Chain A
């Protein structure tokens, strides 16, 4: 179906977790606004379909803790909220953040105090308690960790499918295989070139993560976002070895054994580019690190590897808000789009459709912070 000459109230570029969640929250307001979501790939083909599937409330900053508290409450009720009876394979078997140095352990202790103050049921564990919880763990340099039983994982594919179906029920026009070649200002709104068609949009929201700077350049907007390639490994299904999700800040590895029994490892290493193919030297890089972290999985066969790309901002925090061009918005996840998408969708919908600029979290995460220098410092950062 051609879109040429079509006019929409909101054009969302990117049908990942942020794009679809923003679209659904906007549509459910039933304001009559027409919403179109376009994605150059197919369903779940971007970073939202290639991540480690975990979510956690264990952050160091109140802002991040609250974002995830709200999102996890939504995940818990997603089947009902999105009328998706199959559910999203929610698994709340806990999340263990590991520290392999005294300094990292002290950081965790401070963060847990903040979390507990906000009602997060997290706690500190020493090395023995960690190994008792996950016998496959190695003791090399392990000092301890923090643990929260309500953190966990869900299926990103089912989450996206639930959002997609809910969007389509609300008459959101979601189009895959549709590339945006350029956006320009047109009167009070914008014109966007989609494949062969030109459409008009009153407001535009970019949910394309690391690809945002390229689209913004033609509008004279600069955004400090770069791509961060990551690679993941999935093993054959095996007996339960890793009940909680694990993350090691030192190894840059996150570990999630899904319901099926397969163990997913997301491994980061410093490298540039936006190549989503597996790299030749990745397995030799990752395998010894995986064994150092979890000697108990050494004999488990690897079934598949895949590459993904997430976004990285200077302070490693999301960029959410209106750019200096009126009506042009961005939502850049900085590698946690999946786990924050429910709350971010709600906040962006309120910002764009209700012009609600009073949200305390959004006001900190706007793109202007890079000009004013109000960068954010999150102590529990990881790159995995």
Chain B
């Protein structure tokens, strides 16, 4: 009997761990990833000949090194870098593009470990070059060794803005202000979680020390309401948030800067799972619409598994533990409870901490009032909020209906940048909970006709 074939999409902590475990169990394993090197976003590696300095905490650097080494030693794994998975179907077909050709893989099981992307709340001027997601700015620093700005404002919620501000400082940048929307003290309500996550928490405290030591202006409960500039960012306007969640008039302050690093939480990259027919569920602070899965990563679509952040925000430690669990399950391991006892325990341990972290992503709905009528919401198709609001008023409230009516989500990024905002804005404007998300269809990435007609198939 030929070995069971597992295709893993994504080479972050969850994808690497899943591949390692499936490989250990004698499976033939293929890993598909868009980046030039394994690691995903959190364990991103530099492709530069001279490796840039690391600005992360030693604990994180050690975890990254250990997992990357384990992945490199698991041989043979058919690891393909720089490829784009543009569709996954319910029959477990994985369609992948590489340069001017495409290939259809027909494995026995598919593990989707596609991670998360960052969220923003759109505001006037946010399309100005120099406004970046905090994680995006961090990626430029981490993998390219380039400080993405000299005078930096960092804003948003959750732990990432703090981490990014500290790393920018360590790299020699000037952080003009750190504006955090929801107080980190919310985590204090979940003491068990904090205790279990003490290792990560200590790393967080050391980042905080860096920020304190540099005397950075901290603006709790502040939000960026405007970005000013033409071909480059010149300044941002921040306002304090009142008890009602809206910016308080008269509290505006303008800060000169050339980089605004923003993070308002994360959205799960669940499009491929949805395309394959997996049912989704909504978790506001955990990635939006995420695939529903059992504790072994099995979705409602036969043979389609999910692991890590793409199944709901979990953080790198949970993702790695979960990748091991799901990789073994996809490999068909017989006695999962027993065999995976250690990984299951580790996952639940870290999950308690993640629950505490999630509380810091809970934002007041009225914050969405910073989106003005002339704010561009869909950057690909230049759809302003006024057009979206008119669609809501005409009764087109679901993302699918708004898309048909006003075009948001029809552009290059396939809705990955604006979809979350459309759902939240719909809820904010109409008061009705989001009942569904945009239908996921091929293509998850654009691919030329030439590449699509130059296609081969590989079955197990």
A contacts, CB < 8 Å to B: 42-45, 49, 157, 161, 164-165, 176, 234, 236-237, 260, 262, 277-278, 280, 283-284, 286-288, 290-291, 297-306
The number of residues on chain B lying at the interface, defined by a beta carbon within 8 Å of a beta carbon of chain A, is: 31
Residue B414 interfacial (CB < 8 Å): yes
SS class of chain A's interface: helix, strand, loop or mixed?
A: mixed
For A304, the chain B residues whose CB sits under 8 A away are 410, 414, 441-443
CB nearest neighbor in B for A50: B404
Q: What CA separation (Å) do A283 and B353 show in the bound complex? A: 44
Residue B401 interfacial (CB < 8 Å): yes
CB nearest neighbor in B for A294: B449
Q: What CA separation (Å) do A164 and B404 show in the bound complex? A: 14
Q: What CA separation (Å) do A300 and B450 show in the bound complex? A: 8
Residue B216 interfacial (CB < 8 Å): no
Of A44, A237, A260, the contact of B401 (CB 8 Å cutoff): A44
- Which of A157, A262, A299, A303 has the most C-beta atoms of chain B within 10 angstroms of its own C-beta? A303
Pairs A–B under 8 Å by Cβ, sample size 28: A42-B400, A43-B396, A43-B401, A44-B404, A44-B405, A45-B400, A157-B404, A161-B394, A164-B394, A277-B441, A283-B87, A286-B452, A287-B450, A287-B455, A291-B453, A298-B448, A299-B449, A299-B450, A300-B449, A301-B447, A302-B443, A302-B448, A303-B410, A303-B414, A304-B410, A305-B442, A305-B443, A306-B441
Residue B172 interfacial (CB < 8 Å): no
> Is B404 a contact of A305 with CB atoms below 8 Å?
no
Q: A297 with B400: in contact, given A280-B89, A304-B410, A306-B441 (CB under 8 Å)?
A: no
Of A260, A262, A302, the contact of B452 (CB 8 Å cutoff): A302
Contacts between the two chains (Cβ within 8 Å), count: 92
For A278, the chain B residues whose CB sits under 8 A away are 87, 441-442
Q: A303 with B446: in contact, given A42-B401, A43-B405 (CB under 8 Å)?
A: yes
Q: A157 with B405: in contact, given A42-B400, A300-B448 (CB under 8 Å)?
A: yes
Residue B176 interfacial (CB < 8 Å): no
Residue B412 interfacial (CB < 8 Å): yes
Q: What does the 1/0 interface line of B391-420 toward A look like (CB < 8 Å)?
A: 000111010110011010011101000000
For A262, the chain B residues whose CB sits under 8 A away are 410
Distance in angstroms from B194 CB to nearest chain A CB is 44
Of A161, A286, A287, A302, the contact of B446 (CB 8 Å cutoff): A302
Q: What CA separation (Å) do A278 and B396 show in the bound complex? A: 24
SS class of chain B's interface: helix, strand, loop or mixed?
A: loop
Residue B369 interfacial (CB < 8 Å): no
Of A234, A236, A291, A305, the contact of B450 (CB 8 Å cutoff): A291
Distance in angstroms from B373 CB to nearest chain A CB is 16
Q: What CA separation (Å) do A157 and B87 show in the bound complex? A: 26
B contacts, CB < 8 Å to A: 87, 89, 91, 93, 95, 104, 381, 394-396, 398, 400-401, 404-405, 407, 410-412, 414, 441-443, 446-450, 452-453, 455
For B381, the chain A residues whose CB sits under 8 A away are 260
CB nearest neighbor in A for B415: A304
> Is A283 a contact of B452 with CB atoms below 8 Å?
yes
Query: A49-B404, A297-B449, A300-B448 given. 6 additional CB < 8 A pairs?
Result: A44-B405, A283-B452, A290-B449, A302-B443, A303-B411, A305-B441
> Is B443 a contact of A303 with CB atoms below 8 Å?
yes
Q: What CA separation (Å) do A324 and B396 show in the bound complex? A: 38
- Which of A42, A165, A176, A260 has the most C-beta atoms of chain B within 10 angstroms of its own C-beta? A42
Q: What CA separation (Å) do A176 and B405 show in the bound complex? A: 15
Distance in angstroms from B127 CB to nearest chain A CB is 17
Q: What CA separation (Å) do A286 and B410 show in the bound complex? A: 21
Distance in angstroms from A60 CB to nearest chain B CB is 31
Distance in angstroms from A87 CB to nearest chain B CB is 14
Of B395, B412, B450, B452, the contact of A303 (CB 8 Å cutoff): B412
Q: What CA separation (Å) do A250 and B442 show in the bound complex? A: 26
For A280, the chain B residues whose CB sits under 8 A away are 87, 89, 91, 93, 95, 104
Q: What CA separation (Å) do A16 and B452 show in the bound complex? A: 33
CB nearest neighbor in B for A234: B410
Q: What CA separation (Å) do A165 and B442 show in the bound complex? A: 32
Of B395, B412, B443, B448, the contact of A43 (CB 8 Å cutoff): B395
Q: What CA separation (Å) do A283 and B453 show in the bound complex? A: 8
Distance in angstroms from B327 CB to nearest chain A CB is 25
- Which of B401, B410, B449, B455 has the most C-beta atoms of chain A within 10 angstroms of its own C-beta? B449
CB nearest neighbor in B for A303: B446
> Is A284 a contact of B449 with CB atoms below 8 Å?
no
- Which of A283, A290, A302 has the most C-beta atoms of chain B within 10 angstroms of its own C-beta? A283
Distance in angstroms from B356 CB to nearest chain A CB is 38
